[in-house]
Structure 1
């Protein structure tokens, strides 16, 4: 039986105490998660020099997660990505949301799941922590009292399995994901431009000038968006290409094929020296790849590290951003009393160098 370590992780501005939960497997891989935002705080891989390599950006206390606007490691909801115009129609009714990104709603609005303190349940038999929260009807303008669950399991095969579940008492829209920033060279090692990435997709969503999808689907062939083979992230990120200019790098949704609800490999990521590899699996139709374009050294992370430009990257499996606004996109609707479930699986390989 695994032993899950729990330690205080600081006091929030409202006076609540946050905690950090650390899972460890037989290979000495450790994973830490905080109950504030149900956020992944660290993934430490053993190295030959005895000092583990932490490959996830994060903070040393809950206060950092409370203050940041960059969603480091957080569980995202109610809606990952944008909702255009801060509104959507559902069942003949228009819902108006808080606009926090241009004229759009991003990652759930002013107070998304990333700013909620979750209750934690420990499952030591399965080396797993499950976080629970009740999101009230009308919060940020979304319908339905929503029971939310976000769980993290660490296996002896060096896999981190995240499962998001939810149940609503009204029809609503829902798009949950994890917003970890990865740097396989180490969280404090600088730019990820020399990482190599493969995305199992030949299509991506076109962005308007406001960085929100405009409803068009484009082919990756002949563009800097083609990651069908393992490609260095920095190889084409500076090329003159309108879609890269809009978001100052990569910050787009790739359309993942395959049967809905089936967990399949959606991406592979390699460190600069190829000594750490991460495979990403999901059962949803989209993958947002964000190359850390808005990191600017303003965030003081773990160990006093300043996270600078492109100091981490995000790979966020999800429904398409702006899906409530475009009928041609796969619907991200959760019907009353139906269960939402989304699985993300990370598989780490490392040489210990």
Structure 2
């Protein structure tokens, strides 16, 4: 295993570093200190290197895009209704940045920050650190965040996200907004991939995509991915039956780190990613409104359905729905969450 650090660019007059981890199979992971971005998660298949995630060659591609490509998102992923909730300290109000709601931690969330970094030589991993302050992002209390990226020789990317709350109670529900496309580079959409979810329920959502509190069975519905389902075929139904013309939805999962919450397979090449999580939600977004011919990704100009974002997290807006789980951190409390991407070839 090798871990290499290099300067990747500059943002707001600060140097941005890139870490490259490569294992004995030539599987490669590249991480940026801006937003903890996964620039590359690639494998060598039939003599060709395949980047399994949507990406840009330069820093500007990531910093100028509004789609959160492969960024760490927090303090809270997903939407918070009105940017407020009731706590023991009274009503909390955080900044709003989308239709009167807080989305992805707001404009000053983790996905817009530069992390300090170091190499964990013992585990051949990269550790990114950042202190989110109430003065900067508007969330209650200060929060020390550590994100660890590890690539194993079994082709696992292990992501450990740890938060320690200071001063007063706050919340911690981060994720990685990773867009996958496992197909050959000449295939520029997700139509040749199939999805399996360990989920028989999804959340009811308002028009602004905030959870209503309703939990809906997926049985015999377009949201049913309990069997491997070709995304190209299912998207045909979504285009006809939904305003979004694709997935932008929240699914309830068990939160068992030993059981895949989601499995994505390229039907042609049989490349596969299993996503493991110790939390109770998977958010899926099929890049329905990605459409910018000037945005040049590794699979060409940005267009709808170029990739699928699979976000492992706690159910969003849980502070306003007690049965969604607990994302609250008490003063001096630490919570740690894990996400694992396991690559394999059938």
Structure 1 equivalent of residue 324 of structure 2: 329
Structure 1 equivalent of residue 95 of structure 2: 98
Q: 1:103 to 1:193 in 2, by over 3 A?
A: farther
Structure 1: gaps of 5 or more residues: none
Contact 2:194 2:267 in 1 (8 A): yes
Structure 1 equivalent of residue 51 of structure 2: 54
Contact 2:211 2:317 in 1 (8 A): yes
Structure 2 equivalent of residue 127 of structure 1: 124
The 1-side partners of 2:258 and 2:338 are apart by 7
Contact 1:55 1:186 in 2 (8 A): no
Contact 2:254 2:279 in 1 (8 A): no
Contact 2:32 2:38 in 1 (8 A): yes
The 1-side partners of 2:195 and 2:323 are apart by 28
Structure 2 equivalent of residue 344 of structure 1: 339
- CA-based RMSD of the aligned residues comes to 1.9
What is the aligned length?
Answer: 345
1:263 to partner: Cα distance: 4.4
1:266 to partner: Cα distance: 0.4
Structure 2 equivalent of residue 171 of structure 1: 169
- Specify which of 63, 74, 83 is matched with residue 80 of structure 2: 83
Superposed CA deviations along residues 140-168 of structure 1, whole A, max 9, x for unmatched, are: 32111110011110000000000100101
Structure 1 equivalent of residue 210 of structure 2: 212
Structure 2 equivalent of residue 245 of structure 1: 242
The 2-side partners of 1:321 and 1:168 are apart by 19
Q: 1:180 to 1:329 in 2, by over 3 A?
A: same
1:303 to partner: Cα distance: 5.2
Structure 2: gaps of 5 or more residues: none
Structure 2 equivalent of residue 108 of structure 1: 105
TM-score by structure 2 length?
0.94
- 5 Å matches for 1:1-353? 2-12=1-11, 14-49=12-47, 51-169=48-166, 170-186=168-184, 189-239=187-237, 245-257=242-254, 262-298=257-293, 300-302=295-297, 305-350=300-345
Contact 1:264 1:283 in 2 (8 A): no
The 1-side partners of 2:205 and 2:185 are apart by 29
The 2-side partners of 1:187 and 1:316 are apart by 23
SS of structure 2 residue aligned to 1:217 = strand
The 2-side partners of 1:131 and 1:344 are apart by 15
SS of structure 2 residue aligned to 1:85 = helix
The 2-side partners of 1:299 and 1:337 are apart by 46
